[in-house]
Chain A
Amino acid sequence: METRPRSFYVLGAFFVLFLLFLYGPTFTIAILSFQGPQGGLTFPMRGASLHWFFDLFQQQAVGDIWGSFRRSFVLGLMVMVTTVIVSVMGGLAFRKRFAGNVVLFYLVITALVIPSILVSLGVGLIFSQAGLPIHWASSGFGSQLTWTLPFGLLIMFAVFNRFDKSYEEAARDQGASNWQALRHVVLPIIAPSLIGVALFGFTLSYDEFARTLLTAGSYNTLPLEIYGMTTNVTTPVIFALGTLTTAFSLVIIGVFLLTVWSMNKRRAKQGSDAGKGMV
């Protein structure tokens, strides 16, 4: 093996430091969440126990964690499904130029870069002036979509820019209708990327805070609940919650990655019939 230049080691060390910087604090609170019952928010550890995790399950101690978790989970699924469907349709629309597509494109970019609190404030104002009650499943849901749809659409742009159109043309040459070509050729090919869009949609929603702040109504989502806890909870129970939600996010990513991996594997097994023809 050829020797690597010195810059490789310098940059490699920099990269490791960067990872430590990214992961260090999260590891710290993961460790601190196992404090003993007398432990505080900082080191040193006063014993080790699962006390603060048990504390989470005692509802009156820290508010409605499980209710807010359930709402965040349901909202995440709603946003995920909507984001996948709407992004695919949007991605398909943008494959061909249509009148006004540039305006719509810049609207999407605006949705992406606009400060979240403005969406939150504006949607809250609209609902209150129209006399509609704000609720996480209506105003909160819509506010979150202004953040997840642009991400989903940008992924779809990337996907369709790398899409080999000859597969689709081949299907049409064989007599497939537009719908059949979409259903049996295009969608199966882009399916693994849709998992990525779904993952983005779910986790962006599950962690969304600023856009939900003024639009969730009287029932909190989990990030809002955590936000409330930071102002009045001074025990490691908040670290325990942080550790649990982080673990939950990791499980979700794991499931998604595993799905993509198994889809790719199945495709590799069945996709190509090269060499299996009549020889």
Chain B
Amino acid sequence: MRAGETNRHLTGWLLASPLTLVLIFFLVLPIAMIVVVSFWQATEFSIIPAFSWENYDFLFGSPVTYRVFGNTIKYALIVWVFTLGIGFTVAYFLAFHVRTQTWQIALFLLCTIPFWTSNIIRMISWIPFLGRNGLANSALISAGITDEPLDWLLYSDFSVILAFVHLYTLFMVVPIFNTMMRIDKSLIEAAYDGGASGFQTLTNVIIPLCKPGIMIGTIFVVTLVMGDFVTVRFMSGSQSANVGRLIQNDIALLQYPSASATAVVLLVTVLMVIGILLRFVDIRKEL
């Protein structure tokens, strides 16, 4: 009996060892390295392994930090609201209004295809759409809605958020659709039989049962938006910044200790958000 026990743990670890090794070498050690380097000093040419609070002093003493973190959280919240609204509606349509499984799979695949192409290509494809001479402006002018091209369509918070929603809504659709497909349809019938209206069924039955999917989608969207630096750079025309951009700027200037300190603060923020979200859902049970 005892031998069987040891055997089980040993087999488990043997099978999981490649996974564990990759994660230790390319996740745990690098994060530890970032934490260490965040306490180092830097000159213009090199980084010096000497302990100092300098980077954090500078980071927390600078008004830019607070503005940029504020901006990061603003993007995350707005994008979350939109992706949740759109993602839930799309998943609801697929799960409850499309009747045959073949159609469900076909329409679902149709949603996932754009996801398989390069993010950067999908970002730059907004430029001919939103630019001064873009399709959106020509359409608005010829419809007589505006006289002049709208400048805020591209290189603005608007275009940043639009691109985020475009890139990440699918991360909301997939987990919500997944939980919806597992809802026992008789529960919904029971709600109707009990005299609930469509809206009451939605708020009292479907939404509570979809909570795990919503949480998993939220975790994806929030972490992707908070860590992003490419979308913000492209779509704001380098006019707005979030934390990712701040880190990237430091890296470009070879200020690794300062980049690391910002990275540590970002990491702590993200892990805190995840920690709170995980209180609402047992992720292992949902797989």
Contacts and interface: CB of A to CB of B under 8 A. Distances in A.
Are A and B genuine complex partners?
yes
Interface of A: 4, 7-8, 11-12, 14-15, 18-19, 21-26, 28-29, 32, 41-43, 85-87, 89-90, 92-94, 96-101, 104-105, 107-111, 113-119, 121-123, 125-126, 129, 142-143, 145-146, 149, 153-154, 157-158, 161, 203, 207, 209-210, 214, 222-223, 226-227, 230, 238-239, 241-242, 245-246, 249-250, 252-253
Contacts of B127: 41-42
A43 B135 contact: yes
A-B residue pairs, 6 tightest by C-beta:
A115-B227, A122-B30, A98-B12, A93-B15, A25-B125, A93-B16
Given A28-B129, A42-B134, A85-B18, A115 B90 contact: no
A199 B33 CA distance: 32
B120 interface: yes
B15 A92 contact: yes
A142 B29 CA distance: 12
B120 A43 contact: no
Main secondary structure of the interface of B (DSSP, over half): helix
B122 interface: yes
B19 interface: yes
B16 A253 contact: no
Contacts of B228: 115, 210
A19 B229 contact: no
B106 to A, nearest CB: 11
A157 B260 CA distance: 34
Given A24-B129, A29-B125, A149-B22, A158 B227 contact: no
A43 B149 CA distance: 14
Main secondary structure of the interface of A (DSSP, over half): helix
26 contacts: A11-B93, A15-B93, A15-B107, A18-B90, A18-B111, A24-B129, A29-B125, A93-B14, A93-B15, A98-B13, A99-B13, A104-B20, A108-B23, A113-B219, A114-B270, A115-B267, A117-B227, A121-B259, A122-B30, A125-B37, A125-B260, A149-B22, A209-B118, A209-B230, A245-B118, A252-B116
Contacts of A115: 223, 226-228, 244, 263, 266-267, 270
B166 interface: yes
Contacts of A238: 124
Contacts of A123: 26, 30
A18 B25 CA distance: 41
Nearest to A119: B30
B70 interface: no
Nearest to B134: A42
Interface of B: 8-9, 11-16, 18-20, 22-23, 25-31, 33-34, 37, 86, 89-90, 92-94, 97, 107, 110-111, 113-114, 116-122, 124-129, 131, 133-135, 138, 166, 169, 198, 219-220, 223, 226-230, 234, 244, 247-248, 251, 256, 259-260, 263, 266-267, 270-271, 274, 283-284, 287
